[in-house]
Each structure stands twice: as C-alpha cells, then as structure tokens.
C-alpha cells in the first residue's frame, strides 16, 4: 500500500510539472526580473533549463530502476539496439494507422485533428536553435514522458494488461486535456497518444520490465518517425 502511494505521488508530481511547470517556472523567473520574452532563443533556453531540472528530478525519483535496467540493457547492447529499431518501425506504423483513424473520425465529426506528429529536425539549419530544439523536444521531453507514463504507471499495477491500458490512458489524457476544446476533439486526438504510450508500455512489459527498451524506442520515434512515415507513405 505504501509503495503504491509513493508511486502515485511521483506520477502526480511529474504530471503536474509536465503540464503546468513550464508556465509557473517562466512566471517565477519573470517576477525575479529574468525575462527573455523579446528573444525567441533566450526564451527557449530558459524553458530548456526548466526541462533539464525536471529531467534531473525524474531521474532522481526513478534512479534505482533506471540504473538497474541500464546495466541489464548493456549486457547485450547491440542485439538490444537492433530490437528497439524493430520496435520503432512497428510503433511508427501503428501511429500511422492511429493518425489515419483519428483523421477520419475528425472529418466525420467536423473537428480539428492534430494527432501525434513529429517534426523533421534534420531539415533545419544547424545552429543554437537547432541544438535547443533537439535537446528539449527530441531528447529530454520524450524521455521524461516515457519514464512517467510507462515506468511510473507500471509501478502501480502488478497486472500487465492493466498497466499497459492505464499507461496509454494517462499519456493520452495528459497530452490532450484542455478546458478550451470539446470532449469529442479530445477523444479523437487522444487516439494516437493512447496507441503510442500503450505500445511503449507493452514493450516494457515484454522485455522483462526493462524501461530502456521503451526509452530508446521512444527516442528513435522522436528522431526518425517523421522521416520513416514520409519514406513509406510520402507527404
């Protein structure tokens, strides 16, 4: 009971930081006289510093699992990397199907569809903005979300199926919930996020509960998902 309570508290804290922390962090710095609102790059660096702090906190909260699983992953690092590449391809195809389904439903219900789409950062010029974007949006944020929605949620459930479903639900709800949109909009746009995080949770459970299979699959998707989809389906 105590372990479940601790796991729940960690998830709530992390989810709050992901959802609202950036706003309050920026607001707090502004009140301290630190304001880069007139500079896109300066503002981006400030926001990046927040996510670095959140990442360090998340790592501290889950350091035992992360360190243990990394040691296990490194024992057969090359076969494991090859396996995550296969997982990445399968997950990307599942997201493509989910996006197609979501877009079809959005047209039917006449709502806007955003879905789960990644930018192709390799088309951007290599400069400081590129580095900030890479570190923040492609590396740190996906890792944080994977740890929270997969590892964190899994700590609450012994049942494999329950943890997979709840991981998908938690990831989907936090990703799309908003008071400024309709329920049908949120339900439709939640589809690819549910598929994504449920898939990462399935990978975690099927690989002897090693979170690094999910993290690296997630990173491959963040880096190359858009490129793979364009190569396969055009656009």
Residue 14 lies in a domain: no
CA distance 78 to 84: 10
Residue 11 lies in a domain: no
Residue 175 lies in a domain: yes
58: left (phi over 0), alpha (psi -120 to 50) or beta: alpha
Residue 78 lies in a domain: yes
pLDDT of amino acid 180? 65
Region 164-168: mean pLDDT is 95
Single out the residue of 34, 2, 7 nearest to residue 149, CA to CA.
7
Give pLDDT tens digits for 177-197: 865 678 899 999 999 999 999
Percentage of residues of the chain with pLDDT beyond 70: 94
Single out the residue of 184, 109, 197, 191 nearest to residue 153, CA to CA.
197
Residue 36 lies in a domain: no
In the 8-state DSSP scheme, what is residue 83?
H
- Which one is predicted more confidently, 151 or 5? 151
Please work out, in degrees rounded to the nearest 5, the angle formed at the alpha carbon of residue 87 by the alpha carbons of 68 and 11: 50
Is the Cβ–Cβ distance between 190 and 118 less than 8 Å?
no
Residue range of the domain that includes 204: 56-233
Is the Cβ–Cβ distance between 226 and 117 less than 8 Å?
yes
Q: How much is the pTM?
A: 0.91
Is the Cβ–Cβ distance between 193 and 175 less than 8 Å?
yes
Rounded (to 5) percent helix, strand, coil in the chain:
80, 0, 20
- Which one is predicted more confidently, 118 or 107? 107
Give pLDDT tens digits for 17-65: 888 888 888 788 878 877 665 676 777 788 888 999 999 999 999 999 9
Give pLDDT tens digits for 59-92: 999 999 999 999 999 999 999 999 999 999 999 9
Residue 149 lies in a domain: yes
pLDDT band, very low/low/confident/very high, at 159 (cuts 50, 70, 90) = confident
Residue 225 lies in a domain: yes
What's the total number of domains in the chain?
1
Residue 4 lies in a domain: no
CA distance 200 to 82: 16
């Amino acid at each position: 009971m105590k372990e479940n309570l601790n796991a729940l508290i960690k998830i709530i804290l992390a989810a709050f930081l992901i959802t609202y922390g950036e706003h309050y962090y920026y607001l707090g710095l502004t009140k301290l006289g630190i304001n880069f609102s007139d500079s896109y790059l300066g503002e981006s660096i400030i926001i990046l510093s927040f996510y670095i702090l959140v990442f360090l906190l998340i790592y501290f909260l889950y350091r035992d699992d992360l360190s243990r699983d990394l040691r296990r992953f490194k024992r057969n690092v090359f076969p494991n990397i090859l396996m995550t590449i296969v997982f990445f391809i399968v997950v990307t195809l599942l997201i493509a199907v989910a996006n197609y389904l979501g877009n079809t439903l959005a047209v039917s219900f006449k709502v806007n569809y955003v879905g789960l789409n990644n930018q192709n950062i390799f088309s951007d010029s290599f400069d400081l903005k590129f580095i900030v974007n890479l570190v923040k949006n492609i590396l740190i944020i996906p890792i944080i979300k994977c740890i929270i929605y997969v590892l964190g949620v899994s700590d609450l459930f012994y049942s494999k199926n329950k943890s997979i479903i709840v991981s998908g639900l938690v990831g989907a709800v936090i990703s799309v919930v908003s008071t400024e949109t309709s329920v049908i909009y949120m339900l439709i746009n939640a589809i690819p996020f549910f598929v994504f995080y449920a898939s990462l949770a399935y990978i975690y459970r099927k690989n002897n509960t090693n979170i690094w299979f999910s993290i690296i699959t997630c990173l491959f998707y963040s880096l190359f998902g858009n490129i793979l989809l364009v190569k396969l389906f055009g656009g």
